[in-house]
Amino acid sequence: MASTKITGAELTIRILLEQGVNTVFGYPGGQVLDLYESLYKHRKEIKHVLTAHEQGAAHAADGYARATGKTGVVIATSGPGATNLVTGIAAAYMDSIPLVAITGNVPTSQIGTDSFQEVDITGITMPITKHNFFVDSADKLAETLRNAFRLAISGRPGPVLVDIPKDIQEAMCRYEEAAPIVKDEPFAAKEIRIEEASDVISASKKPFIYFGGGIVSSGAEKELLELSDLLDAPMGCSMMGLSCISTDHPRFLGMQGMHGHYASTMSMNKADVIIALGVRFNDRSTNDRFKFETNAKLVHIDADGSEIEKNVSTYCGLRGDLKETLKLLIPLVKAKLLEKNKEKNSAGNGYKNANSEAWWKTIERFRREELKMTEKIDPESFNPYNIYKLLNSFKNVNTPVATDVGQHQVWAAQYLSFGKKRRFISNCGLGAMGYGLGAAIGASIGTGEKILLITGDGSFGMNLNELATAVTYKIPVVIVIINNKTLGMVRQYQTLFYKKHYSATDLDRKTDFIALAKAFGADGTEADSLESLKKALQLGFNAKGPFLINCSVDKEELVMPMFRPGGNTEDIILG
């Protein structure tokens, strides 16, 4: 193809177009004026969403990526513009979300002179990116940008930052059009490891499948369900795994771990083989990792080999793409089960798991014990359980749900139902309060769907400036504030483990959230009963733009069950 001589800024925007990017999020400034000039020229091809703050732009790009599976793109200027992206980049890094952050910087001749709004953003973000680049030559710009997109989506996805000094944006360079990059060819784990894993799994009497965000990244939902069917195995997930499969699947027990479903957590605890697929085994799932239940043989499959043996000991570790590995593993397991038992079952799988009935009797006992926790709740009371049940009745299978971080997030993970993947948009690893509204904006733009944002009064206080963005772009977001006038999760720990010493957690704010929404140009209403919430949701889901509902709930409401800090599964607190 013939090459064209253009500026570095123009080349940057053409690379975005080349990669199929049609939406970017950002905030302009002095060191990205050339980029914004080129964005202006291509405004019919790329939509730029101007947020109220760069952190909101990073979260919006993250939410866009989570909901669509595409790479999110965010642009910011040098200095404070770049540093304001840091929390958003870290949030994407912890949850393995593909993101390309493009920052401007001072001209290369001024680097290291402490010039106005100069900052070493590549140094700052080194620990929270898959890779980052400082472009010191216009000749390297095209290759660097393409490489950034390749790295963001290959293997274990994640954020990549490209820092482009102003003189590189202004310099003339040659651009040769190229096809969109594709991710590196996914590879399966080594055959010997797959063989070992098939031996362990086929010998299991009480298998448990524990999956996370890696299933979504690799597109291995079909293989996950096939393995569960083959073994008649229960499934549990990390928070990142939510919405990966339908909530009402008969073998799905829900989120496992510190604040997970009792049946899921206990079943994993009593399993003899845990098949872990694309999960990290952080403290949310293990609590004290040194006390983590070791009776089970752990088969851990992950695209990132550094996660295997990082937090817990594995019996069999497999580094490889989940989809490619499971495609090889499942037939081996099936063959070995056939060999062990030739009796045909009614499903026609060619084997019968003689231990399945006893294992499921144990699991059903856990389910009954879990059910007791909600049976005692007054069905008319205005509490989180009933609020979330009502929310379920309004959203549909296509409705994305975004959350901030705290009690409201965990209640959403426990009580909301999902029937389509990429519909739970939540910052699980970093736990950044203030994530929700930006992410909701990005997810709604990416999917074209009305979106439900569940937040808390504490979290909403950290991102409410993005109401300006939501109103400007007419984002159809229904914002439900679970308002308990406190920093709920922190207060819960103080209640249970710090002698009710409520140090700096009860919020004494007099903020009128409905008046605030109206000041931004949105609409909203109060809800203090199930009937008033139902009417509010009817208004919200019929609204064309943002609609805010302030739900006043009792600050004494606790998220249960939960692990005792420093304990193990046997120390689980039920209420």
Pairing of strands 131-134, 99-105: unpaired
| DSSP code for 154 | S
**Do strands 424-425 and 401-403 pair parallel, antiparallel, or not at all (unpaired)?**
parallel
What pairing do the DSSP bridges indicate for beta strands 3-7 and 72-76? unpaired
Among residues 353, 356, 67, 304, the alpha carbon closest in space to that of 186 is found at 304
Question: Is the alpha carbon torsion for 257, 261, 262, 266 positive or negative?
Answer: negative
Indicate the Cα dihedral angle 390, 402, 54, 213, nearest 10°: 170
Query: Per-residue b/e over 484-500, b at no fewer than 16 CB within 10 Å?
Result: bbbbbbbbbebbeeeee
Q: How far are the Cα atoms of 188, 202, 350, 371 from residue 327, in angstroms, in the given order?
A: 9, 16, 19, 36
The CA distance from 547 to 402, in Å, is 15
Q: Given 25, 94, 166, 395, which residue is catalytic?
A: 166
Q: Which of 240, 258, 266, 489 is catalytic?
A: 489
For the CA atoms of the chain, what is the radius of gyration?
A: 25
424 is catalytic: no
Please say whether the beta carbons of 78 and 103 come within 8 A: yes
> Does the annotation count 414 as an active-site position?
no
Please pick, among 45, 116, 177, 309, the residue that the annotation labels catalytic: 116
Catalytic residue among 10, 54, 118, 307, which?
A: 54
489: annotated active-site residue: yes
Let me know: does 349 contact 341? Beta carbons within 8 Å: no
Closest residue by Cα to residue 507 from 557, 466, 459 = 459
Burial class (CB in 10 A: 0-12, 13-18, 19+), 70: middle
CB 385 within 8 A of CB 211: no
Nearest-angstrom CA–CA distance, 372 and 378? 13
Residues in the chain, total: 575
Q: Would you call 19 a catalytic residue per the annotation?
A: no
Site of tokens 């879990």: 370
Do 334 and 230 contact (CB within 8 A), yes or no? Answer: yes
Known catalytic residue: 54?
yes
Which of the following is catalytic: 37, 110, 117, 336?
Answer: 117
Token pair of 297 as six digits: 């043989």
Q: Which residues are catalytic?
A: 54, 116-117, 166, 489
